[in-house]
Structure 1
Amino acid sequence: MVKSLVLLLFTLLSLACAINNKFLADKILSADGNPYVVTKVTTSTYGIVALAQLSLTSYQAASEQVIQSLTISIQFDTNTRVRVKITDTDNERWEVPISIPSYTPSGQNLQYTISPIVEGPLSIQITRNLDKKVVFNLNPAQPFFYNNQDIGFSNYVGYPISVIGLGERVSTFVLAQGTYTLYSRDRGSPIDTGSTPDSNMYSSQPFYLAIDDDLAAHGALLLNSNAMSATVGENYVEFRTTGGIIDFYVFVGPEPEAVINQYHDLIGYPVLTPWWGLGWHQCRYGFQNISVVEEVTNDYTYYDIPLDVMWIDIDYMNEFQDFTLNPVTYPQANFTKWINQLHSSNKHFVPITDAGIGVNPSYQAYLDGLKQNVYIQSAYVSGPTQGVVWPGTSVFVDFFHPNSTNFWFNQILKFEKLTSFSGIWIDMNEASNFINGEVGHSPSIITNLTMPYTPGEDVNMRSLDVASKHYGGLLEYDVHSLFGFTETIATYRYFEVYNLRPFIITRSSFVGTGRYAGKWSGDNKSLWPFLEYSITGIYNFGMFGIPFSGADICGFQLNTTEEMCARWTQLGTLYPFSRNHNGIDSIDQYPWSFGSDLLETSKLAIRNKYWLMLYFSTEMFKVSQNGGIFFKPAFFEYPDDANLLNNSSEHFMLGKGLIVHPCLWEGIDGRVSYFPDDIWYNLYNGNKTILDAQNSVYLDMTLPGDIPIHVRGGHIIPTLDTSKTVLDVETLRKSPITLIVALDQNGKAQGDVVFDDGVSLDTLSRGHYTQIHYNYWNKNATTTVLTIQTVHRGYKMIQGEFPYISSIVIYGINRKPQSVIFYSGGTYTPLSASISLDVGDSVCTIWFSSQISPDRYDGFIFNFGSQ
C-alpha cells in the first residue's frame, strides 16, 4: 500500500513537472532566439572554449530543469572537420561512450573559418573557405534551448539545401521537408515522408549530408543516442533531443563523396567482408524442419543455381530460445548431417539470434545470465526487467555490464558445440518488445506524459521500459538506441578470437556499427516501391559507414510475383549483401518457384555477380582500407549533374567503374535511360553507348535477361572466367581472370585488383594482401602498354588460386595488334596469342596461349605496326 501511494505521488509530481516543462519548452521555442549569452572566451591553436549563461532569470524560477550555464568547445579536429560540443558547465550529463578512433586535433591549413565568438548573445558560425558558404550557423535569432530532457538547436545555413541521411527509415534519397524521428524501433517498414513522426525504424543514425543549389555539399553528425527529431527545412536542419548533450561534428566537403570520406575518417572504416559473404544467400522464415532446409539446398544444385550460404530463421530454435536446436524438427544428428553436406559443397550456414533471453528455469543460458548478473534491471522491483518476445517472457543482456561480453561469448561457444556456423544474424535488437514496457508494470516513471517533449510516439512503445537500469547507473532512457550497437560489438569478439572477419548481420545500428558488422533493411514488403526504396536504403548505410548491406530480395512481407521477383533478383545480386528471404505467411519465392522467366533471370543475375566477384571484393576492400562508398548514387561520381541527384534510384554506381540501370517498374521491357556525360560501354558485349542530346538512350530490359550494366571509359574491370559454370564462390577462387579494358577518349584505362585469403580479420593490420594496379596507355602511334604495378605485396596465392590472366578484352579500339610482347625484369618475350577484332563494335579480344600470372610481372606491349 505504501509503495503504491509513493508511486502515485511520484507520478503526479512527474506529471506536474512535465506540464511545467512543456510550457517552458514551448515558451523558449516561441521566444526571440537564443536565451544564452557568452560571458568568457578562450582561443588556442586547436580551438575555442567559451562559457555562456542563461540570461532570462525567470526561466530558472519556472523550472530547475533548465541548464543555467553552458560550456562551448569548438575543436579544429582536422582541416575539413570541426567539432562543436556544448555541455552543462556545472553537472555531468550522459554522453555517448562510442569508441572513435583516436586523432590529434589540427589547427593547420583549415578549409573553414570560425567567426569570432564574442561576449554577448551566443552565436557560432562556420564558413567554408572555398566558396564562403556557411556550413554551420547557431544564429542567436533562431530557437535554442538546453533543458534536462529537451535540447534543441537549428543549423540555419540560410540558403536552399537538399538533405540526405538521418536514418533509419524507408524514404526517398533526398528527404522531403518535414520532421523525422530517430529512435531505434521495431516497426514494419512504413514509408516516411516527414509528415508522420512515428515512422522511424530499427536504427539511429543522426548524420546528414546537405547539397546546395550549386551542388556543393557539407555534412553533420549529432553524436547523441537519446530519442530525437530532426526537422528538415528549406534552409536549415533542426535537432531536438530528449537528453544527452550537443556533440555536433561538421564536415565541410565540398563534394558529396568528400563529405562521406571525412565522416568515415571520424567514425572508423568498415570491417573487411569475408569473400564468401559476397555470394548468394538463401533464407526463409517458415522452414518447418531440417528436411525442408535440406530439400531447398539440394534444389539449388538440381536447378544448377549457385549458392553460398543457407540461413535459418527462428524455426530451428527450441521454444524460440537462442543457442538451442528444436529436438523434434531440428534434431542434432540430422542437423549435423546437413551441415556436413553443406560444408562438403563449399557452402556456409548462418543462424539467427534474437535479443530476448527467455525466462525459463530449465534454460541454461537464462540461468548463466542470472548468475553473472548481466541483465538489464527493473525500475520497479529487484531483478531483471522483463519484456515479451518470441520465447514469451524474456530478459535482455545489459551489454554495458563488464560480464556481458564473456557471457555472450560463452553462449556462442556452447552453440558452436551443437552445430557449426560461419556467421551470426542478430535480430530484434532495438531491443524489440511485444508489449509496452515491463511485464506487470505499466510505464509510469518516464513516459510521454512526464517528458517535456517526445519525438514520435511514447518512448516505451514496443520497447523496454525506459526507466530500466543498466550497469553503472545508466538508464535505458539514454542508451536504448545503443542496444544493437553494443550487442554487435559483443558478437564481434567471438570472431576476433578466431581471427576471422566477422560475418554479422544486424537489424539495429548506431554510429560506428560498420566497424563490426553488416546490415540488412529488415522487414520490407513485396511491393514495387520497396524495390526502389531498397536502393536508397543501401545508399544511406554506405554513407553511414556500413557498406555491406542489402534488402530481402523479392520482399519479406506479402506475396511477390514472378516479374517483381525477377526484377528484384537482377537488382539484389548487385547489393553487397545478396539474400533472398521472405516471411512465414508468404508464398515461396525461390528462383524456381514461379516459372522460366524467374529461373533463367536468377541464373543470369547470380552468375553476373560471380563474373564481377573480383571487382566487388577489390572495391569493398578499398572501402575498408580508406573509407568511402561502393554502392552509391551516380551523383557522387558526377557531382555537377543535378539530374543524377533528382532521380538517384534509376541509376547507381558500383565503385567508380560501373553504372547500373535497374528496372523498377512493372510491365515494361525497356525504357529511355539517362547517363552521366562520359564514355560508356555495354559491359556484356563492349558496344559503345551512343547518347542523344539529353544524354539518354533506350535500354532493353526484356525478361528473362540481364540487368543493364555499363562500364565507364577509362576503367579496367577484372572478371572471372568460370563464373558461368561453378556453383559456389570458393570454387570461383580457382578461376582464371579476364581483364576488360574500357578506353576513355584518350585511349587510356586503369584499375585495381586485390588478392588476399578472403577470411582473415587482420589482413589489413598485418599487410597480408597484394594490391595490383593495371594501367593501359599509348606509348606512341604504333605501341600501347598495359603495365602491372605492385602497389603492395603481402599475400602469396595458394596453388591454383586465380592462376593466370587468360585474356584481355579492349573496348573502344578500332585496330588489332600485330603482336604482343610480355616483359618482366628487363626481359622481353613474344607471346603466342589469338587476337580478334570486331570492327563494328570496336572490341579487340586477345587470348593467351601461355599462363600469365595476374600479379607477378611487369606488363604487356601491344604492337600495332603501321596500320
Structure 2
Amino acid sequence: MPTRRLQSKHGGGSEQPNVVDEPDRDGAPQVLRGDGGGGAVVAPKIAVPGRRGSRFTKFTWRALGGAILCLVVTLLLRSAPYPYWKWQGGHISRLLDGIRGGHAEKYTLSVADCPGYALDPDSLRENRNGFTAQLNLAGPRCNAFGKDILNLTIQVTYETASRLHVNIFDKSAQQFTLPSEFFDPPKSEHDVDADLQLNYEASPFAFWITRRSDPGSAPIFDTRLTSLPSAPIPAFRSGRSDPNLVFDGFPLVFENRYLQITSALPFDTNIYGLGEVVASSGFRRDVLNGTIQTMWNLDAADPLDENIYGSHPVHLEHRWVSSTNSFQSHGVFLSSAAGSDIILASPPSSNQSLIQYRIIGGTLDLYFFSGPDPKSVIEQYGQVVGLPTRPPNWAFGFHLCRWGYASLSETKEQVDAMRAANIPLEVMWNDLELYHDYRDFTVDPVTFPANEMRDFIRNLRANEQYYVPIVHGYAALVANATDVYDPYTRGIELDVFVRNPDQSTYIGQVWPGHTVFPDWLAPNVQLWWKEALRNWTSLGVEFSGLWLDMNEPKSFCDGHCPPVNGRPISSPSIVLPGEPGNLVTEYPEGYNAAVSGPSGNVTVNGSLTYGAGLQTLDSNPSRDEDALSTTFTTPISEPLYAIHNALGDLSLQTIATNATHYGGRTELEMHNLFGHLMSRAANLAVRELHPPGKRPFLISRSTFAGSGKWTGHWLGDNWSKWSYLYHSIQGVLQFQLFQIPMVGADACGFGGNTNEELCNRWMQLAAFTPFFRNHNVRGAIPQEPYRWDSVAHATRAATAVRYALLPYWYTLFANASLYGTPPMRALFFEFPQEPELLAVDRQFMLGSDILVTPVLTPNVTSVSGILPGRGQVIWRDWYTHAIASQRVSPTGGDGKNTVVVDLDAPLGHIPVLVRSGAALLLHSQPGYTTRASSATAYALLVSLSHEGNAYGTALVDDGETETTQSRTLVFNAHDKHLEILHSGEGVFEVVQPLDVITILGIDRAPRRVRIDGIKVPSRKWVFDPAVQRLVLSGLSVDLNGRSVISWG
C-alpha cells in the first residue's frame, strides 16, 4: 500500500524525568527515551528550518537552566568530530541524553582514541578452509557510542572458489545475528582452490584481501591504516542534503551499539548497489562527491538519496586493474540486519576513496565475492542469500490497480473497459477499499459483497485472468467485547503480537485506527497467518497472489499509542488524497494545469500542452508527511550514534525500537527484517492454501537481503514525473543485483497526476521491465491505459512485444531461480570491458540479447543511445529487422571509440534492438492473456553474427507448478545450418510446434532450404534482400525431437 499523504497532527509534550542508565545484555548502559516503564525520556527536540523530520515538542525546564544547557550543546556541536549531531529532532537530544545522564565521560562520541584490536597468536587455529583466532582490545576502552567489547573472535572461511567469508563477532555471542531458523547458511565446499586470499597484520589488527591470481594488484578490500587517507579529515561537503562528513580515525571499532570498519577504494571507483534508494547519481553510486546510504526500512514516498523501504547492504565494484589491463568485478555483502550508515567518500586533497560501515549493533559478518565479471558477482551473492523464487507464467502479464476503486462494480468496469479497448489485462488488483472499516482479511459487505466477490474472481479465472488483493503487516484492535474481528482475537489467543517491554501488547495506528503488529518470531505466527488468509478466502477473496504493504512496518503514530480512555479509534484522523484539504494538484514537468486544464492531454484545443506557460521543468514535489503524534508513551531506546534515517529518530512512524519480540529480541534488532519475514510467512501460507505444487506470487514493499526467495517487489510510491520515469530504470537494476528480479515501478507514476505523454512513454517502458503494473493515488486523474487513445495504442503495441517474448522472459527467470543470473541488466553487465557503459542507466538490456532505449524526456520524437560492442556487434531493429545505423563518437574513455545510435521514437514507439548472435524462441501470435499467447505456435528469431553464428536456449514447462519436468530447447546456428536440440529433466512434452523461423543476416538469397534433409517448398519461404532476411512459415516442426534447417 502506498505512503499516504497525511495531515500533520502534532501531539503535545510532557515534563521529562531524568535519564537513567540501564544495562543491556552486555552490561553496558544505554540511553532510553520515553516516559514510562522505568526508563528515561527524550530531551526536548529542537526543530530547525530546512531539515525533514524536524518537529517541535513542549518542555518545562526552567528558562535559565535551559539556556545554559543550549549554550553547552551548541559549543559541543561546533567542535564535535563526527557529523552525528545534526540540527535535527532526535539527534541533538541524543547528545543531551548523554550529558544529562552523566554519560559525557563514558561515551566520547569519537573514535579518534579507539585502540583497535590485536590478534592473539596463541589463539590462532587453522583448518582446511581457513582459520579462527581471538582479537583483544588493543588498549584502553574508548567507549565512543557504546561499550567496547574486549574479546572478539574472527572466523575466516574460504567457502567456495569464489567466496570468502570473514565473520568478526563477540566471543560471548551476545550480539544479535540473523535468526538461523529463517536464514539458511550458504553451502560450502571442502579443500577449495580459492580465488581470494586474506592477509592480515596482527597489531593493530587489519586485513586486506587480494586475488591469488594477481597478488600485486590493489586489494579488493583493505582496512590497513597505511592504505587509508590520513585522519583526522576535516569536515567536507558530502554531496547530499546532509551537512558535512568528518572522519576522525579508521580503527576497527566493536561496541555493543556501534561497530565501524573502513576499507580503502580506488579513487572514484565504480560502485553499484547499497539500497534501497532513489539515487540522484543514478545506478552508479557517487563515490567522488560522497554517498551516505542508511539501512533502516522506512515508508517514504521515494525521496532522492534517502533510506526507503528495504535494506540491502551489498555492493558490486567494477574497477580497472592495470596489471591485467582489464576491468574486474567483485562484491561485498554485510550480512547484518542492524541499522547502519554505509559511506562512500573521496576526501579532499586525497587520491584515495573509501567505504566505511557504521553499524548500530550486531556483528561484522562479511562475504566477499571474486567475480570477476558483474554477472558472476550477482550469481555468487545469490548463493549466499538464496536464489529468487520462480514466478508463475501469468505474473509476466499486465497488472492493473488503483487506490480508489471504491466498489466491486467499479473494479468490474475496469476489466470490461480494458477488454473493450483490446488492451491485454492479466491481473486485476484491489487496494484497501476492499476492506470493511479498513480491516485486513475482511470485505466490505456493501461495496464488495462476499458472494459477488467470489463470482467475480472465478469469472476472471474462467477468462484466464487472475486476482491480487492487498494485505498489510498489522491487525486492527477490537473496540469492545461485542466487536468481532477474528484476526485480532485469534492472534491474542495464539500470542503472536509484538509486545512492549512490560509485556503488554504494543499498539500503533494505521488505516483501521489502533492496530497491533504480528511478531514474526512468535512460535504460532505462521498458524495465525495461514488461518487469517484461509478465512479470508471463505469471504470470497480467492486470491491468486498477494500484495504485501505497509510492512516496513508503518505506523501513523510515534511509539506505543494505546486508546484514550480505553476506546480505540476505528480510522486514523487524516485527510485522504482527493478530499478537501488534500487535493492532488501536481502534474508532470512541463504541464501547466492552470493553462491546459486537468485532462493531461497532449493537445488541448489543437495546441500542445507541453511547456504551456512554463519556462523550466518543475521541481520534484515536496513530501511533508508527518505522524499523528510525537509524544512517546513508553521508553524508547536510541543508540548514541544516529544513523542518517530520513525521519531522524528510529521510532518515528514505525514500531518503537524498544518493542519486544519472541525470545527477548527488540525492534531495534528486528526492524529491518519485518517485511522479509512477512514475505516468508505469506509464501509458506500460500503454498499450503493453494493446490500442491503451485508457485506463489507475492509483491512486497519492504524487503531485505534474500527476500527474492519469497517475493517480488514494486518500487513504492513514485511520482508522475519524467524524472521518476528515468529513476525507475535504476530501481529495477538495483533489485537485479539484490536477487529480487521480479520488480517494477508503478507505470505512469503513483503520486500526483500523470498526463497523456508521460503515461504513453511509461507504459511502453514498463512493458520491458519484469513486473508490469499501472497504479495511482486516490484523487488523481484516472490513468488506466484506455483513457487516452494514444496510450491505448502504445500499450497494445508494447504488450504485444512483451507477450511475444514470454518464452524469453520465462527462460531468463528460470535461470535466475537456478543460477542467480539477473534477467534485466545494465549494459556493462554484458560488456564489462567498455568503460563508456559504466554510468549508462537510460538504456538497459533484457538478458544478453535485447537492448531497450526508451524515451525519458517530453516533447521529443527521437532518442540517442550507445550501441555496446564497439562495432563488433550488429544491432537489428526488433520491428523492421533493419541494421541500426550508427555513428562513432570518440568518448570511449580508454582511447577507443564509442558507437552511438540515433533512433526514431515518435509518441507510441519504443526502440528495441536485437543483438547479433541471438536465437530467440517467441510466441508467434501474442494473445489477450499469457495463456492465450502460450497456446499459439512458436516462432524463432535468429540474428546471425558477422561470422554467421547464433545461439540461444529456452526452458519450457507448464508455467505454474514447481515441477522437475521441463525441457530445455537449444538453438545453434553455424555454417548455414540451424540445429534444434533439446534436453530436460523428466519428460515434458512441448505441445505447440515451431511454425515460423526468421533468420537475419543472410547476405544473398538461398537457392534451396531444407529441414532434416527434405526440401522446403518455395511457397513456405521468402527472402528479403533489403534486410537480409529469410522467413520460413507453415513448418509445424516438432520441438520434442532434433531438427536441422539448412540453406544455401
**Deviation readout 1:176-231 (Å, 9 max, x if unpaired):** 22211111111111011xxxxxx200111111111224532211111111111100
The aligned counterpart of 2:632 is 442
Separation (CA, whole Å) in 2 of partners of 1:573 and 1:18: 57
Q: How does 1:510-549 map to 2 (within 5 A)?
A: 510-549=704-743
Mapping for residues 89-108 of structure 1, pairs under 5 Å: 89-97=171-179, 98-108=182-192
Cα displacement (A) at 1:447: 4.0
Question: After the TM superposition, which segments of 4 or more aligned residues of structure 1 sit over 6 Å from their partners?
Answer: 3-6, 17-25
Partner amino acid, structure 1, of 2:1029: V
Residue 852 of structure 1: aligned partner: 1037
Displacement of 1:672 in angstroms is 2.7
| Secondary structure class of the residue paired with 1:732 | helix
Which residue of structure 2 aligns with residue 573 of structure 1? 767
User: Is 1:10 paired with 2:92?
Assistant: no
Change in 2 beyond 3 A, CA 1:583/1:835: same
Task: State the one-letter code of the partner of 1:185.
Answer: L
| Structure 2 match to 1:773 | 970
Counterpart contact for 1:376–1:396, Cα < 8 Å: yes
- State the shift of 1:37 in Å: 5.2
Distance in 2 (alpha carbons) for counterparts of 1:807 and 1:12? 73
Give the Cα separation in 2 of the matches to 1:718 and 1:25.
Answer: 64
Which residue does 2:82 correspond to in 1?
none
Q: How does 1:258-269 map to 2 (within 5 A)?
A: 258-269=376-387
Structure 2 residue matching 1:134: 3-state secondary structure: coil
The structure-2 alpha-carbon separation of the partners of 1:445 and 1:838, relative to structure 1 and needing over 3 Å to count, comes to: same
Cα distance 1:63–1:273, how it changes in 2: closer, same or farther (>3 A)?
Answer: closer
State which of 491, 499, 507 in structure 2 corresponds to 1:369. Answer: 491
Match of 1:838 in 2: 1024
- Between the aligned partners of 2:955 and 2:100, the Cα distance in structure 1 is 58
1:447–1:459 Cα contact (<8 Å) kept: no
1:712 lines up with 2:712 in the alignment: no
Distance (whole Å) between structure 1 residues aligned to residue 222 and residue 161 of structure 2: 18
C-alpha displacement of 1:31 = 3.5
Find out whether 1:167 has 2:275 as its counterpart: yes
**2: distance between equivalents of 1:841 and 1:797?**
35
Mapped to 1, the partners of 2:811 and 2:549 lie a distance apart of 29
SS in 2 for 1:250: strand
Distance in 2, Cα, partners of 1:600 & 1:236? 49
Q: SS at the partner of 1:121? A: coil
Tell me which residue corresponds to 1:195: none
Give the equivalent residue in structure 1 for 2:903: 699
Give how far 1:435 is off: 1.2
The alpha carbon displacement at 1:17 in A equals 8.2
Question: CA offsets, 1:620-654, max 9 Å, x none?
Answer: 111111111011101100011122112x2221110
1:327-356: CA deviation from partner (whole Å, max 9, x where unpaired)? 111112322232232122111000000112
- Distance of 1:717 and 1:191 partners within structure 2: 38
Distance in 1 between residues matched to 2:780 and 2:379, nearest whole Å = 40
Would you say the 8 A contact 1:79–1:107 is kept in 2? no
1:587-606 residue pairs with structure 2 within 5 A? 587-593=781-787, 595-606=788-799
Q: What is the rounded CA distance, in whole Å, between the counterparts of 1:314 and 1:75 in structure 2?
A: 48
**Given the alignment, which residue of 188, 195, 207 partners 1:111?**
195
Q: For residues 17 and 855 of structure 2, what CA distance do their matches in structure 1 show?
A: 61
SS in 2 for 1:698: strand
Q: Provide the rounded CA distance (Å) in 2 between the counterparts of 1:294 and 1:64.
A: 58
Contact 1:160 1:212 in 2 (8 A): no
Alignment of 1:374-773 (within 5 A): 374-379=496-501, 381-419=502-540, 420-440=542-562, 442=632, 445-448=635-638, 451-456=640-645, 457-497=648-688, 498-593=692-787, 595-646=788-839, 648-677=840-869, 678-694=873-889, 695-705=899-909, 707-723=910-926, 726-760=927-961, 762-763=962-963, 767-773=964-970
C-alpha separation between the residues in 1 aligned to 2:471 and 2:328?
Answer: 43
Secondary structure of the corresponding residue to residue 808 of structure 2: helix
Deviation at 1:508, TM superposition (A): 0.5
* 1:64 CA drift (Å): 7.6
C-alpha contact (below 8 Å) 1:25/1:452 kept by paired residues = no
Which residue of the partner structure matches residue 1007 of structure 2? 818
Structure-1 separation of matches of 2:674 and 2:136: 35
Q: Secondary structure at the match of 1:156?
A: strand
For the 8 Å contact 2:134–2:153, the answer to whether it is kept is: yes
Name the SS for the 1:574 alignment partner.
coil
What's the CA shift for 1:821? 2.8
Cα 1:729/1:58, change in 2 over 3 Å: closer
1:189-208 to structure 2, matched below 5 A, reads 189-192=302-305, 199-208=306-315
User: What secondary structure is seen at the aligned counterpart in 2 of 1:114?
Assistant: strand
Q: Which residue of 1 aligns with 2:980?
A: 788
The one-letter code of the counterpart of 1:100 is: D
**Relative to total residues, which structure has the larger helix share, 1 or 2?**
1
Preserved CA contact (<8 Å) 2:863 2:904? yes
Report the equivalent of 2:292: 179
Secondary structure class of the residue paired with 2:456: helix
Deviation at 1:9, TM superposition (A): 6.5
Cα 1:598–1:136, aligned 2, differ >3 Å: closer, same or farther? same
**Cα deviation per residue 1:131-158 (whole Å; 9 max; x = unaligned)?**
4331122224623211111111112245
Tell me how far apart the structure 2 counterparts of residues 640 and 265 of structure 1 sit (CA, whole Å). Answer: 25
Question: Is this contact kept in 2: 1:208–1:219, CA < 8 A?
Answer: yes
1:218 has 2:330 as partner: yes
For residues 862 and 229 of structure 1, what CA distance do their matches in structure 2 show?
A: 60
- AA aligned to 1:556 is F
2:113–2:142 contact (8 Å) kept in structure 1: no
Give 1:738 shift. 1.2
Supply the RMSD in Å over aligned alpha carbons: 2.3
Q: Which amino acid aligns with 2:1043?
A: G
Q: Is the contact made by 1:716 and 1:752 (CA closer than 8 Å) also made in structure 2?
A: yes
Q: Note closer, same or farther for the CA distance 1:857–1:207 as it changes in structure 2 (3 Å cut).
A: same
Tell me by how many angstroms 1:323 deviates.
1.0
The SS at the match of 2:636 is: coil
User: For the Cα contact (< 8 Å) 1:75–1:105, is it kept in 2?
Assistant: no
Cα distance in structure 2, aligned partners of 1:410 and 1:487? 15
Letter in 2 for 1:504: L
Would the alpha carbon gap of residues 454 and 168 (structure 1) be closer, same or farther in structure 2, given more than 3 Å must change? Answer: same
Is the CA contact (8 Å cut-off) linking 2:1005 and 2:1025 kept in structure 1?
no
Taking CA–CA contacts closer than 8 Å with sequence separation of 6 or more, which of the two structures ends up with the larger relative contact order?
2
- Provide the secondary structure at the position in 1 that maps to 2:142: helix
Residue of structure 2 in register with 1:54 after alignment? 137
Give the C-alpha shift of residue 264 in structure 1. Answer: 1.1
The answer as to whether partners of 2:423 and 2:786 remain within 8 angstroms in 1 is no
Alpha-carbon contact 2:114-2:141 (below 8 Å) kept: no
Deviations 1:544-571 (A, max 9, x none): 1111111100011001111100110110
Unaligned runs of 5+ in 1: 193-198, 779-783
Amino acid at match of 2:330: H
Deviation at 1:606? 1.2
- 1:822, distance to aligned residue in structure 2 (A): 2.6
CA distance in 1 between counterparts of 2:929 and 2:837 reads 35
Q: Which amino acid aligns with 1:689?
A: A
* Distance in 2, Cα, partners of 1:795 & 1:107: 37
Tell me the distance in 1 between the aligned counterparts of 2:945 and 2:283.
Answer: 30
**CA shift for structure 1 position 727:** 1.2
Residues 130 and 528 of structure 1: CA distance in aligned 2, closer, same or farther (over 3 Å): farther
What is the SS of the residue equivalent to 2:672?
helix
1:92 Cα deviation from its structure 2 partner: 2.1
2:69 matched residue in structure 1: none
Partner of 1:804: 993
1:541 alignment partner, SS class = helix
Match of 2:887, SS? coil
Q: Per-residue deviation at 1:102? A: 4.1
| Identity, % of aligned positions | 27
Closer, same or farther: CA 72–793 of 1 in aligned 2, 3 Å:
closer
The alignment's TM-score, normalised by the length of structure 2, stands at 0.77
Q: Report how many residues are paired.
A: 830
> Which TM-score applies when normalising by structure 1?
0.92
Cα offset, 1:699, TM superposition: 0.1
